Amino acid sequence: GAVRRPLVLANWKMNMAPDQVKPYLATVLPEVEKDEAADVAIAAQDLYLPEMLSLTASSRLMLSAENAHWTDDGAYTGETSPKALAALGVDYVLIGHFERRKLFNETDERVNLKTKAALKNGLKPIVDLDEDLSAYASADPKTVVLKQLALALDGISETAMKNVVIAYEPTWAIGSGEAASAEQAEKSAALIRASLANLYSPALAEQTRILYGGSVTTKNAADFLSQEDIDGILVGKAALDPKQFLELIDIAQ
């Protein structure tokens, strides 16, 4: 979509050794500065964020956490505070990634609470909607995604929504090597946008960025990015290689 700035987001997940962080950024940062047509961000495990923040201090590259708790602080051993992330200077936080929903019991209710907590602290939440296979096979395959959308955004104002990014990810495409077709993904992104128009307003829907994620590669990225309602890509595996991430940034420019 022409009115929306594309966002290219790498999701490192629980990958990358400590000594790989600096060389990765050294490869990618010059490309990020070259052209300003797209936003670029990396989601990394919390451990790496302080070092990455200092290495990217004078760069347009933005950083994202992969998860954050729904309260600012308290007796939640092992959790990450959205307030602390914001104080460090982190820009984005992934909320409700498929792996969090599936492996760590992230419910729609918690996704909603975490989205609100992120917004309250000035972080930009990237809210993940995951479409599973059974939903895909059912009579109304998009119901699950649109329900997730409504539940995730429950009680969030239109003003706050200006800082929310939506990521649409078919679960069967995540890490599988089998991406959705650009047409399939566009259909879902358009439905999500129509739903945003209903929940908020056509104007809000028009300006909200919707990313596609699921086995994006340097070969299929351009197809996704050229779709009317797809405003960026969320990339796992392909983005672990800095050269491929470079190429993906290039494609989005």
* Cα–Cα distance list, 75 to 5, 46, 71, 78, 127 (Å): 39, 18, 10, 9, 25
Distance CA 141, CA 168 (A): 14
**CB nearer ligand PEP, residue 83 or residue 131:** 131
**CB nearer ligand PEP, residue 61 or residue 235:** 235
Task: Judge whether 36 and 44 are in contact, CB under 8 Å.
Answer: no
Distance CA 95, CA 128 (A): 6
Q: Is 215 annotated as a binding residue?
A: yes
Query: In this structure, what token pair is assigned to residue 41?
Result: 């961000």
What count of other Cβ atoms lies within 10 Å of the Cβ of residue 140?
8
We find the least distance from the C-beta atom of residue 63 to ligand PEP, in angstroms, to be 16
User: Does the protein bind ligand PEP through residue 8 (CB under 6 A)?
Assistant: no
Catalytic (active-site) positions: 97, 169
Among 215, 223, 245, 252, binds ligand PEP (CB under 6 A): 215
Which range of residues in 26-34, 72-80, 209-217, 243-251 is near ligand PEP by CB under 6 A? 209-217
We find the least distance from the C-beta atom of residue 203 to ligand PEP, in angstroms, to be 28
User: Does the protein bind ligand PEP through residue 175 (CB under 6 A)?
Assistant: yes
Residue where the block lists tokens 């990634």: 97
User: Does the protein bind ligand PEP through residue 236 (CB under 6 A)?
Assistant: yes
Task: Judge whether 131 and 145 are in contact, CB under 8 Å.
Answer: yes
Among 7, 117, 234, 249, binds ligand PEP (CB under 6 A): 234
Which range of residues in 103-111, 189-197, 228-236, 242-250 is near ligand PEP by CB under 6 A? 228-236
**CB nearer ligand PEP, residue 70 or residue 168:** 168
Q: Is 172 annotated as a binding residue?
A: no
Q: Which of 189-198 are b and which e, b meaning 16 or more Cβ less than 10 Å from the residue's Cβ?
A: bebbbebbee
Q: Is 12 annotated as a binding residue?
A: yes
Q: Which of 219-239 are b and which e, b meaning 16 or more Cβ less than 10 Å from the residue's Cβ?
A: ebbebbbebebbbbbbbbbbb
Residues 13-32 that bind ligand PEP (CB under 6 A): 13
DSSP state of 19: G
Q: Binding site residues for substrate, as ranges?
A: 11-13, 175, 215
Positions in the binding site for ligand PEP (CB under 6 A): 11, 13, 169, 174-175, 213-216, 234-238
